[in-house]
Amino acid sequence: RMDQALLLVRNELPAPGLNLAARSGSCHQCLYQFLAFVPPSNESLRKPGTASVMVDTQHPLTLLLNSSVGDRDLCKIQYHFGEFGNYSLVVKTLSTSTQTVSCDLIINEGPINSYLPILFAFLVYMGILAILIAGRLLMKIDPVRNWVYKKLNPRATDRMINSELGSPNTTDSINFDPTPQSWSTGSRQRLRSLDTFRGLSLVIMVFVNYGGGKYWFFKHESWNGLTVADLVFPWFVFIMGTSIALALGSMLRWGSSKWKVLRKILWRSFVLILLGIIVVNPNYCLGPLSWDNLRIPGVLQRLGFTYLVVAALELLFTRADSGTWEGRFPALQDILPYWPQWIFILVLETIWLCLTFLLPVPDCPRGYLGPGGIGDFGKYPNCTGGAAGYIDRLLLGEKHMYQHPSSAVIYLSTMPYDPEGILGTINSIVMAFLGLQAGKITLFYKDQPKQIMSRFIIWGTVMGIISAILTKCSKEEGFIPINKNLWSISYVTTMSCFAFILLLLIYYLVDVKKWWSGAPFLYPGMNSILVYIGHQVFANYFPFKWKMQDSQSHAEHLTQNLIATTLWVIISYILYRRRIFWKI
């Protein structure tokens, strides 16, 4: 099967036989898992005992062979098997006097290179990009451009759109994609870098949600650490916070009262949470949706609640005039006037730290951050997520949580655990607040791109230093490891570091130098809610999914997932050209 290899164990030793066990290299402090019993050789027939097993090829494995009687370890082998490879492990005695045992691994049939489809897909998309760039260059030639315009007569659709999902009236919109106002008094212009950043996050999110070609690094990390799939959700939360700063200031400058804005915040949060619970709910796969198995947390639910807290917090302290602050430290004008917000965020983070490390959890060590299951040498199998998992099970109930956590893949945990649970929502609020800070920077230093970029660099560096301290630059050994399931504070600071740097690059290319229009990510970024909900609702329908000829092929899965993701980009482009934007 996909991500597996065949291992044939040949035992030339006499009785009593061998036990073969394995441990994944990505499983920290895990118990060995029994794979097979290898019978002893038949000395009269001179026939070795054999056993065949399927072994995982996604991560390096440590194989352990020991005697079935006495539990004496005979040999230990570390090896990274290749997909669809055929291997033999020959166990024999080198010296009968010293009873020295050798374990030799032999490749019978070489594995395939399962990463070639990624290279091929990359070349195809680069070819398409080259064709588009060539076409753009040709359009700069007057005769060619005039001929094309004459044939097609396109309508200009780059009107300035002033709401998150396309409302033409800025004062009537506050949402995930709010419109930054122009930094000149003569016109209004949207910051394309924000939509591009949001669209990039959304496109990656759609791709990994569709399966990511079934590659392990396009799936969520089993516990500590990061994969590509772990990057996108916090980036989306971050840019939501950035948009909140720009939208609220814009609406207040255009005369909306704070009570009117608050009503819009409450309504939008309510709709997002409702959509997450009723429309986008993974527990549908368990049967008809009912309260008995309704998953209460979720992506949209967390976005809605995070949006409510951060937008209300900003509304309480924002000013309609974002001019220069006349305080003692003008270089900190985006921070000091909002000191009550920072106190509120610090209190929230203190609550997270206290609950995480001080809350007593039955039958679990205090401050436990592990995956449970076979992790930590199997000492705490039912402690998945520590306090975070305990609070969700206590307040929500096990049936109302996510039933297939990523920790079950490697760590074989059996407890339900929700990565969008209650405790982690605190740190998603912190993540959005850091994005809010990026939005304030763009407001307070308008018409000063160097100031904006330098502050993005400073914030990114500070977040990176905090992450390095919290994690000790280690995946497993830090004070607070990077963990998407827990939404640990080190995960937030690391993702914020990446977000500030990525936003800096996109802002420089798109809005400062205008070397890049933001396409194609700009289009889904301007219809983010439609694309997110649409890709979830229609995930199992053609043309986004079809029956494969070989379901054990990374190439076929990658092709299907890339086509489905590309279709959503095309759909968002068509909607953009027709000026159709769905807002909440």
Full DSSP string of 328-392: S-GGGTTTGGGHHHHHHHHHHHHHHHHHHHHS--TTS-TT--S--TTGGGGT-TT-TTTHHHHHH
Residues 483 and 375 in one domain: yes
What are 82's two structure tokens? 């290749």
Residues 83 and 202 in one domain: no
Which is nearest to 436 in space by CA: 285, 164, 172, 237?
A: 237
Residues 351 and 468 in one domain: yes
Q: What is the pLDDT of residue 371?
A: 95
User: What letter does residue 191 receive in the DSSP assignment?
Assistant: -
User: Residue 480 domain-assigned?
Assistant: yes
User: Residue 393 domain-assigned?
Assistant: yes
User: Residue 146 domain-assigned?
Assistant: no
Sign (positive or negative) of CA dihedral 107, 112, 118, 124 = positive
233, 206 contact by CB (below 8 A)? no
User: What letter does residue 23 receive in the DSSP assignment?
Assistant: E
CATH code, domain carrying 21: 2.60.40
Q: Which domain holds residue 384?
A: 192-281+293-317+334-578
Q: Which of 28, 220, 400, 535 is catalytic?
A: 220
Among 109, 128, 158, give the residue marking a domain's end.
109
Residues 383 and 483 in one domain: yes
User: Residue 467 domain-assigned?
Assistant: yes
User: Residue 521 domain-assigned?
Assistant: yes
Residues 204 and 93 in one domain: no
Name, in order, each residue with C-beta under 8 angstroms of 118's C-beta and a sequence gap of 6 or more: 213, 215, 558
User: Residue 84 domain-assigned?
Assistant: yes
Residues 78 and 214 in one domain: no
Neighbours of 105 (CB within 10 A): 13
Neighbours of 122 (CB within 10 A): 10
Among 61, 81, 109, give the residue marking a domain's end.
109
pTM: 0.88
Q: What is the pLDDT of residue 502?
A: 96
Q: How far from 155 is each of 150, 195, 318, 350, CA to CA, in Å?
A: 12, 22, 38, 54
Q: What is the pLDDT of residue 174?
A: 38
Q: What is the pLDDT of residue 163?
A: 39
Q: What is the pLDDT of residue 180?
A: 35
Q: What is the pLDDT of residue 284?
A: 57
| 35-62: burial string, b at 16+ Cβ within 10 Å, e else | bbebbbbeeeeeebbebebebbbbeebb
Q: What is the pLDDT of residue 320?
A: 59
Residues 232 and 342 in one domain: yes
Which residue positions in the chain have pLDDT lower than 50?
A: 154-188
Total of domains in the chain: 2
464, 419 contact by CB (below 8 A)? no
16 prior amide bond cis, ω within 30: yes
Model pLDDT for residues 78-124, shown as the tens digit of each residue: 999 999 999 999 988 876 665 678 889 999 999 999 999 999 999 99
Neighbours of 158 (CB within 10 A): 9
Residues 77 and 208 in one domain: no
User: Residue 175 domain-assigned?
Assistant: no
| 404 counts as catalytic | no
Q: What is the pLDDT of residue 156?
A: 44
216, 59 contact by CB (below 8 A)? yes
Residues 203 and 86 in one domain: no
